[in-house]
A and B are shown apart, each in its own frame.
Chain A
Amino acid sequence: MRMLQLIKRICKQVLRDKRTLALLFLAPIFVITLLNYIFPDPDDEVTIAVVNVSDDVIDILEENDMIVKQENEINIKSYLEDGNASGVLEEKNGEWTLTILNDNPMDEGPAIQGSSKAIMEMKLNDLSDNIDDMINNMEDMSAGVEDMVESINEMMDQLPPEAAQNLDINTDLGVDTDVDTEIDSEINMDEDPITVEYIYGDESYTFFEILNPILVSFFVFFFVFLIAGMSMLKERSSGTLEKLLSTPIRKSEIVFGYLFGYGIFAILQTAVIILYSVYILDMEIAGSITNMFIINILLSFVALGLGLLLSTFVSSEFQMIQFIPLVIIPQIFFSGMLNVDTMEPWLQWIAPIMPLYYAGNTMIDVVLKGFTLGEIIAPLSILVLFIVIFVTLNILGMRRYRKV
């Protein structure tokens, strides 16, 4: 009953605070939208400048969807600095050089890949030309051998039979003079030399598609943490927490009231972020959207618990902000963007204490890999464990303000 009244009060306060509402709902949408457009489209063409490069290579580059600019006598550095191209490809005495500024991996990566591929293809073409020549030579040679065999046979026919028996020349030399010229010497260059098989998703996946599920969880965590922490801090610094504790309310009722009061908004925020990502930004999801909700709602309660808990250690809003680089930012690195298995061993020990490590990686499992509820039950249980721990610590922490 008291808890319900507390929840009602929190709802009233949040709904009246337009700025907090905007922070909860508009800020994540704004940032996610921005990110969606900030990453370059993989279909965008990369521009490459060529100096002293044969037309064959230029043709191949163009076939590989690159814009080729033919240049002579340029200052490569200033040419690239001016943004004329992502790279400059040169040939000198058979040595190929691609020069890049090395300040924009998004464009330069494809430039390096494309150029390498073009030169490989060019070299393969040369190779197949050589093979053709060899086959032609061999055909000529085999024709010569056939002529020889024929003339030997003719000679044999003209010899007297005794002589022929003595000579016992087996003209059946077993030489397969019929060289198989059916060899497909034209290696088909229209197809990719290698087929990439995608276990999850397809080649249309961009970096954003992998980042987005993590970001959804990150925003849920970040904004809920901040708002829960700030509001509890306000309750404490304005003296209303003390006043509240002068009533017979239980400490657990305060903690649960806060948890569910802000939990309502956390759930709404999660819904808005997920629905926006899926339906407006066309985030492809392999798994079920329900599982996305489960992960993020659990995560938002972890963030609530952590925010409330940390707010008891600070005495001002600014000190609350100071927790962001300490508590929030490091979690991004472990949230699935980078592979934890290849990190330093001591970092691998840190990862399991971070709620976003579980949420982020599980989001990837659900959104990109289509994991079912059964397959993500372990990380979900750990998130529940986090909630239990934080709630318990919060209730114990309330003892600071009232002993019973």
Chain B
Amino acid sequence: MIKLSNMSKSFGKQTILQNVSVDIGANQITGLIGPSGTGKTTLIKCLMGMEKHDTGSIQIDDTAVPNRKLLNKIGYMAQSDSLYHDLTGLENIQFFAHMYGNKISKQNVQSILDLVQLEQDKKKLVQHYSGGMKRRLSLAIALINQPKYLILDEPTVGIDPVLKLSIWNQLHDLKKDSTLLITTHIMDEAMKCDQLLLMKNKGIAASGSPQEILENFGVSDIDQVFLKLEEQEYENAAAN
């Protein structure tokens, strides 16, 4: 269970997140959506302990963040393909597996390779991988420690539709053991999430299942929700 209460974060004078309070439910896919620059990545970095939040608290399984040992429970896939291009796919997986300790077995590595369909290319250097293969390898590495929490920053950027579908199917399979937090700004992907957190103006503007959100705003797709939010903001500014 991830619990944020009254969490704020600013860089210098610029406030990125202000008084964010949210619970991220277990065993479901939570989508963090919103325009660029609304603090999605900052929120994730605060969850990982890469950035320290200024005020408020973040708790993961009742442990206060930041905490290095918590990282054992978290799998992380960054926006960029964070891979060693001069190592093979298998070597990349093995290296990161070792970073979580000895407990990762050969079987586990094999099942993950199968999951992301890289068994054929595991001995190729990553620099010869296609964009989609790199993305799949990054996902495989994020899964290597069988994380209880899986944090994926735009996991399907640059992936073809067929693969995208198969990745989403895999993500839904992972739900039974893991809690997933996914950022995206592709709105049709948002619809595949169980829960949505709409980020706007340094905080979470709306939350709920995709259907709930659409009904609340009386619109037919998520893009329009943001337009509505924009209108509300404009009206509030005029009223003041």
- B98 and A243: CB pair below 8 A? no
- Distance between Cα atoms of A249 and B100 in the complex (Å): 8
Q: Mark A322-363, 1 if CB is under 8 A from B, else 0.
A: 000000000000000000000000000000000000000000
A403: nearest chain-B partner, CB-CB: B52
B84: nearest chain-A partner, CB-CB: A240
In the complex, which residues of chain A have a beta carbon less than 8 angstroms from the beta carbon of B76? 243, 246
B69: nearest chain-A partner, CB-CB: A248
- B83 and A240: CB pair below 8 A? yes
- A13 and B84: CB pair below 8 A? yes
Closest 7 CB pairs of A and B: A243-B82, A239-B82, A247-B99, A246-B76, A5-B98, A404-B66, A403-B52
Q: Which of B83, B84, B85, B145 contacts A9 (CB 8 A)?
A: B84
Given A238-B85, A239-B78, A240-B82: A249 and B67 within 8 A (CB)? no
In the complex, which residues of chain B have a beta carbon less than 8 angstroms from the beta carbon of A401? 50
In the complex, which residues of chain A have a beta carbon less than 8 angstroms from the beta carbon of B91? 9, 12
Q: Is A69 an interface residue (CB 8 A)?
A: no
- Distance between Cα atoms of A16 and B68 in the complex (Å): 32
- Distance between Cα atoms of A5 and B102 in the complex (Å): 11
- Distance between Cα atoms of A402 and B66 in the complex (Å): 9
- A403 and B98: CB pair below 8 A? no
- Distance between Cα atoms of A247 and B81 in the complex (Å): 16
In the complex, which residues of chain A have a beta carbon less than 8 angstroms from the beta carbon of B35? none
- B99 and A242: CB pair below 8 A? no
List residues of A (203-247) whose CB comes within 8 Å of B's CBs.
238-240, 242-247
Among A1, A239, A240, max chain B CB count under 10 A is at A240
A243-B82, A243-B96 known; 20 other A-B pairs, CB under 8 Å?
A: A1-B101, A2-B98, A2-B99, A5-B95, A9-B95, A12-B91, A238-B80, A239-B81, A242-B50, A242-B78, A242-B82, A243-B78, A246-B50, A246-B74, A247-B71, A248-B101, A250-B68, A401-B50, A403-B49, A403-B52
Kindly state the interface size class of chain A when it binds its partner.
20 to 34
In the complex, which residues of chain B have a beta carbon less than 8 angstroms from the beta carbon of A43? none
- B49 and A404: CB pair below 8 A? yes
Q: Is B212 an interface residue (CB 8 A)?
A: no
Kindly state the interface size class of chain B when it binds its partner.
20 to 34
Q: Which of B68, B72, B141 contacts A243 (CB 8 A)?
A: B141
Q: Majority SS of interface residues in chain A?
A: loop
- A248 and B82: CB pair below 8 A? no
A244: nearest chain-B partner, CB-CB: B99
Number of A-B residue pairs, CB cutoff 8 Å, is: 77
Q: Is B114 an interface residue (CB 8 A)?
A: no
Chain B positions near chain A (C-beta within 8 angstroms): 48-52, 66-69, 71-72, 74, 76, 78, 80-87, 91, 95-96, 98-102, 141, 145
- Distance between Cα atoms of A12 and B96 in the complex (Å): 15
Q: Is A176 an interface residue (CB 8 A)?
A: no
A249: nearest chain-B partner, CB-CB: B99
Q: Is A17 an interface residue (CB 8 A)?
A: yes
Given A248-B71, A248-B100, A404-B66: A239 and B80 within 8 A (CB)? yes
Q: Which of B48, B69, B83 contacts A246 (CB 8 A)?
A: B48
- Distance between Cα atoms of A335 and B48 in the complex (Å): 46
- A1 and B50: CB pair below 8 A? no
- A403 and B50: CB pair below 8 A? yes
Q: List 21 A-B contacts (CB under 8 A).
A: A1-B98, A1-B101, A5-B98, A9-B91, A12-B87, A16-B86, A238-B80, A238-B85, A239-B82, A240-B82, A242-B82, A243-B78, A246-B50, A246-B71, A247-B100, A248-B68, A248-B72, A248-B100, A248-B101, A402-B50, A404-B66
Expressed in whole angstroms, the minimum distance between the Cβ of B42 and any Cβ of chain A is 13
- Distance between Cα atoms of A13 and B145 in the complex (Å): 24
- Distance between Cα atoms of A5 and B97 in the complex (Å): 10
- A404 and B68: CB pair below 8 A? yes
In the complex, which residues of chain B have a beta carbon less than 8 angstroms from the beta carbon of A2? 98-99, 101
- Distance between Cα atoms of A251 and B94 in the complex (Å): 20
